[in-house]
Homo-oligomer: A and B are copies of this chain.
């Protein structure tokens, strides 16, 4: 490891920072000074099937320590660069899944390494504060420079959290508190509320609900999980809340070819949303908020029209429910706009927008009126991690400097066009190619074939992910270029040729 590419590069760069004349490794100094693309490898390189022998050995070791059955293979992150993930057996793969969509600008990006090399930043990594009570001096400045510089339209407040689940859990709590205070008006909490809340009973713990959608995924902690309805493995055996679940439109793709029938399906779902709000209010389980993903990801990359979301936002407003857009997976540029819901052109902004993954820190934006009425209502020890804000700052600079959203639009078009072409050539295998930016997916005939295609692609040097029952989802980093799309399409085309 001591001689890994990354540590060589860092050592050299440290020397450079200290302005000392020490010979530089040519291959590395080049990498460190050029753009992320030139910095990376020129293609996949496979040495074994995956997982290879070293991975298998480590899987066994990890299996002694924890349930490790989901491990695909072990990685050599030191040698991974840009769009290429290198495993412990020396296999180098084009990564079109990027750690479940959580690597924003590729592996070992020079801009991120620079953050680590700056001695001014070290304190944030070794002195993790309790942000809610003792924030570091640069915390407001860093929030302005990072999260607030890309805040969704109409939202100027932001709360950081450690991960996606905590972001949604606390967003839901923010919604409940806001809703209850709205009902309460100027009246203070009653003695009964104060006493009953301590023992989990109404009225102190009101029987409010969050309306979610079938196929949605919002995390796996108990509050989030009550709004998650994507796979049995997420849900089975865990107690839950009786909260309303609306159907998410099941549309035909490509959307522009099935406008009329899709609009009917969407109208049906919206009607059901309104019915559920009324029904659950009658049941005494008032809907305080509606949560939705711009594209249902884990549930199978299910899209809906911009019009559907605009109408849903109107329904939320009409019934006084908060409108919470969960951008944990869709946020940070993958759809070609920074936030996927930027595509909708909402007149009245969302009330809450949650994020995590590629944003490196969890958290949520919220409207002024959603601000908790008292300190310590939304609180925990860490409330995020300022070291992640430093890395995010570098990520946002790279996105801007390298115009990565435009690149995503371009490479996304190449990818989707290629998928259309493949599904035309293999209609017995592929269908429903769909996507926005590089946030694309395609359906495979059945689950077994989908899984087998993912494994075959991996052995040819491409890391893909599945979602829903039989979809493949594409989640490359924002540094995925047109030629990476073509590279993938060529490899995938070769695999499909076996099924001619």
| Residues in chain A within 8 A of chain B (CB atoms) | 1-2, 4, 6-8, 10-11, 14-15, 18, 20, 22, 54, 58, 61-62, 64-78, 80, 85, 88, 99-100, 102-103, 107-109, 112-113, 115-116, 119-120, 122-130, 132-140, 143-144, 148, 156-159, 162-166, 169-170, 172-173, 176-177, 179-181, 189, 193-194, 197-201, 204-209, 214, 219-223, 226, 229, 232-243, 245, 356-357, 360, 371-372, 374-382, 387, 391
Contacts and interface: CB of A to CB of B under 8 A. Distances in A.
Contact of A237 (B107, B126, B177, B223): B177
A121 to B, nearest CB: 9
> What's the number of copies of this chain in the assembled complex?
2
A71 B137 CA distance: 12
A73 to B, nearest CB: 7
A74 B180 CA distance: 32
A8 B120 CA distance: 9
A130 B102 contact: yes
Given A139-B62, A245-B200, A378 B67 contact: yes
B157 A66 contact: yes
Nearest to A221: B169
Given A107-B126, A112-B126, 18 more contacts: A1-B138, A18-B18, A65-B140, A66-B157, A70-B375, A71-B134, A103-B128, A113-B122, A115-B126, A163-B166, A164-B381, A166-B221, A180-B237, A194-B236, A197-B232, A199-B245, A222-B226, A241-B241
B237 A76 contact: no
Contacts of A127: 77, 80, 103, 107-108
Among A8, A108, A197: residue with most chain B CB under 10 A: A197
Contacts of A76: 136-137
A148 B237 CA distance: 28
A131 B79 CA distance: 17
Tell me what chain A mostly uses at the interface: helix, strand, loop, or mixed: loop
A58 B125 contact: no
Contacts of A177: 236-238
23 contacts: A4-B120, A7-B120, A14-B14, A20-B20, A58-B135, A65-B148, A70-B133, A70-B376, A74-B135, A74-B136, A75-B129, A77-B123, A77-B124, A100-B133, A128-B360, A170-B221, A172-B222, A173-B238, A177-B238, A201-B240, A205-B238, A209-B239, A220-B380
A226 B238 CA distance: 14
B126 A109 contact: yes
A377 B119 CA distance: 41
A243 B200 contact: yes
B99 A130 contact: yes
Given A74-B135, A134-B71, A207 B108 contact: no
Nearest to A118: B7
Contact of A165 (B62, B194, B221): B221
B125 A116 contact: yes
